[in-house]
Amino acid sequence: MQLGAQIFGGRVRRGRTKEYGLAHIQIVRNKLFLGLPRRFNVWMSHGDTVVRVPAGAKILGSTETTKVAVFKYKEFYGLQFHPEVRHTQYGIKIIDNFLTHICQAKKTWSMRKFVNQEVARIRNEVKDARAICAISGGIDSTVAATIASKALGSHLIGIFVDNGLLRMGEREEVKRSLANKVKLRVVDARDRFLSRLRGVRNPEQKRKIIGREFIRIFEAEAKKFSNVKFLVQGTLYPDVIESGRGIGPADVIKSHHNVGGLPRRMRLKVIEPLRLLFKDEVRNIARMLKLPRSFIQRKPFPGPGLAVRIVGAVTPERLNILRQADKILQEEAEKLKIYPDIWQIFAVLLPLGSVGVMGDRRTYDSVCAIRAVYSDDGMTADWVRLPDNFLGRVSRRITNEVRGINRVVFDITSKPPATIEWE
């Protein structure tokens, strides 16, 4: 919208106030807004704003702080808000109106066609060679492995790396869940990753170290088999966008280990069948492929694991503390009626000392933060209004049962302005 306004003769400048998160828009009737009420909620994320539309343009929507929230110039429609995110009411209807009523597009695309195209593409690219698939146990890598397996059959080898940054019991759960679905090798690299991360506090550095070590391990494992030339990953488009590698220029929000964290020189060629998809689309594919509900409903877990949920240095002691706290949080969260609707809920260990009193003695221990968000695709998120009695119970259990934590806080920030993960 801002670029279009500038090109067509309007003016854009830095806004006096920024607009992140929820806003209330009032619209003018138009093809774009067919079937919509005059006022509804939208999701914003901008610091610059259009202060003058091009000559002949018509303003179609405004919010309390943004006069030009929507405008039309000839056949150009510009929206300042994000219709593609779940937090915008009627967002999908707006996109549908644009495609079908304005562009006259035909609805011929489907996820089944997408999967068939990817199977053919992978088969054509790999030919007689073999590929390994990076397995995490999450829905993204599982769907990517399933698609690649349809293309390659026994020529695909799944590699699961225990990097020492997993949640409690996760290695055993992945082995149990995937053993009969993919030819799976488990690599124990706990000491290797923790050694590389020793003393590292910068989150970007953490992610790049982890991404590099994953690739070096995959390359070493590939040498154990003949004719392995490819690496299949479950990379999604949000990973690409936040790593600054999307379509068009963008800031690096954080280098995802499987995108911005990849080393420049690699022996294996990367195949990413899900690279242009969002999480909700991957879940739709999983349903279509009839994968178990446990995979489809599993909460996202970052590729760098607990390394980006420990703010500051990663040590075995801090990992042990966080694993215990997170296990308690998950046990209690699974009892909530709203649990299936929560996108992510997790604990974060902060690099803060906090004075406390336990019994008759003074303590000076760590602070644990609880983070819970609603989202569909991970690009935007709103914090979950968790019940007071739930928060109180979790806080009591963590401070009573986990040695090393004496204070629990609750994160009530949306994305934007924050990201979902703390690092």
Tokens of 83: 């219709």
The residue among 269, 296, 323 that closes a domain is 296
**Which pLDDT does position 265 carry in this prediction?**
74
**Which pLDDT does position 407 carry in this prediction?**
96
Residue 340 sits in the same domain as residue 268: no
325 assigned to some structural domain: yes
421 assigned to some structural domain: no
Q: How far is CA 174 from CA 221, 252, 323, in A?
A: 19, 31, 17
Q: Supply the CATH number for residue 147's domain.
A: 3.40.50.620
420 assigned to some structural domain: no
Choose between 233 and 183: higher pLDDT: 233
Q: For 79-125, write each residue's pLDDT tens digit.
A: 999 998 888 999 999 999 999 999 999 988 899 999 999 999 999 99
Highest mean pLDDT among 133-137, 170-174, 383-387: 383-387
**Which pLDDT does position 219 carry in this prediction?**
92
417 assigned to some structural domain: no
Q: For 23-54, write each residue's pLDDT tens digit.
A: 999 999 999 999 999 999 999 988 899 999 99
Q: For 350-363, write each residue's pLDDT tens digit.
A: 998 889 887 778 88
Window from 37-51, 166-180, 383-397 with minimum mean pLDDT: 166-180
- Can you tell me the distance from the alpha carbon of 419 to that of 67, in angstroms, rounded to the nearest whole number? 27
- Can you tell me the distance from the alpha carbon of 145 to that of 285, in angstroms, rounded to the nearest whole number? 12
Q: CB under 8 Å, gap of 24 or more: what pairs does 292-297 form?
A: 292/177, 294/177, 295/138, 295/139, 295/142, 295/177, 296/139, 297/340
Strand-pairing partners, residue 45, are 20
**Which pLDDT does position 258 carry in this prediction?**
47
Pick from 197, 177, 321, 172: nearest CA to 257? 197
59 assigned to some structural domain: yes
Residue 175 sits in the same domain as residue 155: yes
Q: Supply the CATH number for residue 46's domain.
A: 3.40.50.880
302 assigned to some structural domain: no
Sheet arrangement for strand 184-188: 184-188, 156-162, 130-135, 228-232, 269-271
**Which pLDDT does position 67 carry in this prediction?**
93
Question: What is the tally of structural domains in the chain?
Answer: 3
Residue 218 sits in the same domain as residue 127: yes
Residue 89 sits in the same domain as residue 122: no
Residue 248 sits in the same domain as residue 129: yes
**Which pLDDT does position 285 carry in this prediction?**
93
**Which pLDDT does position 330 carry in this prediction?**
95
Tokens of 69: 């929230």
The residue among 244, 273, 296 that closes a domain is 296
415 assigned to some structural domain: no
State yes or no: pLDDT of 255 exceeds 50.
no
- Can you tell me the distance from the alpha carbon of 72 to that of 53, in angstroms, rounded to the nearest whole number? 9
Residue 12 sits in the same domain as residue 48: yes
**Which pLDDT does position 294 carry in this prediction?**
72
Choose between 260 and 173: higher pLDDT: 173
Share the mean pLDDT of the chain.
89
pLDDT exceeding 70 applies to what percent of the chain?
93
Residue 80 sits in the same domain as residue 120: no
Give alpha helix (H) positions in 98-138: 111-126
324 assigned to some structural domain: yes
Residue 45 sits in the same domain as residue 10: yes
Residue 117 sits in the same domain as residue 262: yes
Whole domain around residue 60: which residue ranges?
A: 2-102
The residue among 51, 80, 102 that closes a domain is 102
Residue 91 sits in the same domain as residue 122: no
State yes or no: pLDDT of 335 exceeds 90.
yes
Residue 142 sits in the same domain as residue 283: yes
Residue 177 sits in the same domain as residue 223: yes
**Which pLDDT does position 181 carry in this prediction?**
64
Tokens of 345: 């809920």
Q: Return the axis-axis angle of helices 388-401 and 316-333, rounded to nearest 10°.
A: 150
Note if the pTM is more than 0.75.
Answer: no
Choose between 175 and 271: higher pLDDT: 271
pLDDT exceeding 90 applies to what percent of the chain?
66
